[in-house]
Structure 1
């Protein structure tokens, strides 16, 4: 008769549960996987399958009871790590949506909104369009696979059961939030500059010919010009987005390294 000790059961449960918690936490936040339109059951199943495949290759786990205070603390630690790493990639999509908001405001489409099921709120039409484009580019360049690769390598850089997380990583994560505005403005800058120049031209025309109402003519001109500019700019957007994704994947790996760095030793 084969007998198993309680410590062995705890070891097998922890070997699956802790990696599963980090994976599922990232899936709940990261783009593509974390969309509210994505079914929950396949999301949980995918995280479980990856956890079972990855678990035998990971460094040794601490011998802790799953339901003990220390075991629950490790579990919560994995959830925080997964959410932090997923949030880094989420910044990319927030920046793209911000660019869509900037362009829509210049085109006069700020009042044209659609219900976005991913955020459960009304989103501008161009922001929704830019978000779909960013998601397609992310999948085309295998961003979802690269994101999983960085997460799996984080188990080596930041092993499960690490004594404590360096708080400098949270500060670095907060500083990355500035990318939402800077990168979004940089992405929308060509369209903003062209539409602003056109808007100034219409203002000068209105001063030169007061009988020509710029309010009645300006909106269709801005809208048509914006659509034409989008047809010129959008085909060149994927190359910029690919570089942006690569940069944020690098930040994702650095955040994991910073979490594992001793206090006071992170840059």
Structure 2
């Protein structure tokens, strides 16, 4: 007969619960797993399956009473770490969404907005389209595999510990937020430049022929040029988005570099065979 003491039972529960909390924190916010259209039961079941797979390979950590102050603090810490890792991937999609928003406003489609279940707000049609393209690339480039591998490695670089400063760099997480504007602007530069030249040409045409109704033909021309340029550059957006995804994975990995551990080799995003 197998006898298990209460201390051993609590240790087994905590060895599963604390990693599960970090995993659920990432799933709660990281797109596309954190999409509100996905039922909560599916997210919890996915997190439980990942925890069952990851838990046996996690290095041993300090035991603590789950109902004590230290145990509650560890639980909160793991959830915040998971949220931080998912927030970085959310920033990647926010940069792509910002590029679509800038493009849509320049084209004159700023009024054509739809409800986005991810952000629970209104976004432009071009932004929604680019986010859908990014989601397809997210799975076709195996970024979801790289994200899960980075999550598994985080238990080594950011170990579960009773100390609150166990390798999680909040400052680096905040600084990385500026990448939204940098990459959003870089992705939208081709379309914004083409539409800027189109608006300059329309301004010159209006000065040359004042009798033309610029409001009658301006929107049609800018929208047509914008859609044409978008169709031309769409095949070339895969590489910038792949680089953006790679930077996101690298940022997730670098969150725990303040601890003296050797980081794993840089993850490579390879297309599916």
What is the CA–CA distance in structure 1 between the aligned matches of 2:171 and 2:204, rounded to whole Å?
47
1:59 is displaced (CA, Å) by 0.8
Q: Which residue of structure 1 aligns with residue 9 of structure 2?
A: 9
Asked whether the 8 Å contact 2:61–2:160 carries over to 1, the reply is yes
Instruction: Find out whether 1:65 has 2:30 as its counterpart.
Output: no
1:38 is displaced (CA, Å) by 1.2
Question: Which deviations, in whole Å up to 9, do the C-alpha atoms of 1:84-142 show, x marking residues without a partner?
Answer: 01111111100000000000011000001111122222211111111111111111101
1:168 is displaced (CA, Å) by 7.9
Q: Which residue of structure 2 aligns with residue 234 of structure 1?
A: 234
Q: Which residue of structure 2 aligns with residue 75 of structure 1?
A: 75
Count matched residues: 261
Asked whether the 8 Å contact 1:59–1:156 carries over to 2, the reply is yes
Instruction: Find out whether 1:215 has 2:218 as its counterpart.
Output: no
Instruction: Find out whether 1:159 has 2:124 as its counterpart.
Output: no
Distance 1:261 1:177, change over 3 A: farther
Distance 1:168 1:7, change over 3 A: closer
What is the CA–CA distance in structure 1 between the aligned matches of 2:81 and 2:257, rounded to whole Å?
11
DSSP-derived class of the 1:80 partner: helix
Asked whether the 8 Å contact 1:13–1:66 carries over to 2, the reply is no
- The aligned runs of 1:24-43 (5 Å cut-off) are 24-43=24-43
What is the CA–CA distance in structure 2 between the aligned matches of 1:75 and 1:192, rounded to whole Å?
46
Q: Which residue of structure 1 aligns with residue 94 of structure 2?
A: 94
What is the CA–CA distance in structure 1 between the aligned matches of 2:146 and 2:2, rounded to whole Å?
42
Q: C-alpha root-mean-square deviation of aligned residues, in Å?
A: 1.6
Question: Which deviations, in whole Å up to 9, do the C-alpha atoms of 1:216-259 show, x marking residues without a partner?
Answer: 1111001111111111011110111011111111111001224x
Asked whether the 8 Å contact 2:167–2:255 carries over to 1, the reply is no
1:143 is displaced (CA, Å) by 0.7
DSSP-derived class of the 1:163 partner: coil
Instruction: Find out whether 1:196 has 2:196 as its counterpart.
Output: yes
Distance 1:224 1:73, change over 3 A: same
Instruction: Find out whether 1:182 has 2:182 as its counterpart.
Output: yes
What is the CA–CA distance in structure 1 between the aligned matches of 2:210 and 2:117, rounded to whole Å?
45
- The aligned runs of 1:108-127 (5 Å cut-off) are 108-127=108-127
What is the CA–CA distance in structure 2 between the aligned matches of 1:28 and 1:173, rounded to whole Å?
17
DSSP-derived class of the 1:195 partner: helix
Asked whether the 8 Å contact 1:31–1:89 carries over to 2, the reply is yes
What is the CA–CA distance in structure 1 between the aligned matches of 2:252 and 2:162, rounded to whole Å?
18
Asked whether the 8 Å contact 2:206–2:212 carries over to 1, the reply is yes
After TM superposition, the runs of 4+ consecutive aligned structure 1 residues lying more than 6 A away are none
Asked whether the 8 Å contact 1:93–1:134 carries over to 2, the reply is yes
What is the CA–CA distance in structure 1 between the aligned matches of 2:166 and 2:216, rounded to whole Å?
58
More helix per residue: 1 or 2?
A: 1
* Gaps in structure 1 of 5+ consecutive residues: 263-267
What is the CA–CA distance in structure 1 between the aligned matches of 2:88 and 2:9, rounded to whole Å?
35
* Gaps in structure 2 of 5+ consecutive residues: 262-273
